[in-house]
Structure 1
């Protein structure tokens, strides 16, 4: 499983739940297109911690 796939899944589920409980209204697909999830989860699925606190993880570029 790729980290990016897990992040995208978490982003989708997160937005779906925010819609379900009434914090957000609208189409989740449209929210994903404009990266609305980053407003609520700015660091993605989680911080990647290793020897270097700002580890690049799956983003070496």
Structure 2
């Protein structure tokens, strides 16, 4: 593997088993390819929206506009 290869792990090996990585071309400045970048780090706005929904549900508040 080179520095330009995706380092997203594809396996969770046991003892004496090799780690397997994606190996597709990585996005410049990132350790992963474009597909695995989206899996590894969700967009900040998506994370906030999900967290807001979860907290609202937990505290019984509606997240619908106007409600």
Would the TM-score normalized by the shorter structure come out above 0.5?
no
TM-score normalised over the length of structure 2: 0.28
Could you say which structure has the greater relative contact order, defined with CA pairs below 8 angstroms and 6 or more residues apart?
Answer: 1
TM-score normalised over the length of structure 1: 0.30
Higher share in helix: 1
Query: For the pair shown, which has the larger CA radius of gyration, 1 or 2?
Result: 2
